[in-house]
Amino acid sequence: MKENEIKCMHACKNTCAMLNEALRKEASTVRFYEGILDECNQPDVRDFVLDLVDERRKEILRIIQKLNEIHVRSQATDGIFASFNNLDG
């Protein structure tokens, strides 16, 4: 998929399709870098790639944190809407 083919549908519920795609791509990149490490025997290049892996893992954690925030916010909103729709209570 080309970068310009990614379109946000703006209809996400409890998550974000764009962030999920970013997470998938970041994880794929980490796997690629880890594969490079298996083949590399130059210490300076290995150190550089290890730094890249560390940076990507931090980005993955940030994306996961944002997805969790979106999920929690959506659950809270659903709870508020449900309380207004509860005719028995």
For 46-65, write each residue's pLDDT tens digit.
Answer: 999 999 999 999 999 999 99
Determine the Cα–Cα distance for residues 52 and 16; give it in Å rounded to an integer: 25
| Inside any domain, residue 10 | no
| Inside any domain, residue 26 | yes
3-class secondary structure, 11? coil
How far is the CA of 6 from the CAs of 18, 21, 62, in angstroms? 8, 9, 20
| Inside any domain, residue 31 | yes
| Inside any domain, residue 71 | yes
| Inside any domain, residue 6 | no
pLDDT value of residue 49: 96
| Inside any domain, residue 63 | yes
| Inside any domain, residue 9 | no
| Inside any domain, residue 87 | no
pTM attached to this predicted model: 0.73
Looking at residues 67-85, what average pLDDT do you find? 74
Number of domains in the chain: 1
Looking at residues 78-86, what average pLDDT do you find? 66
Q: What is the mean pLDDT of the chain?
A: 84
Domain enclosing residue 63, as ranges: 21-78
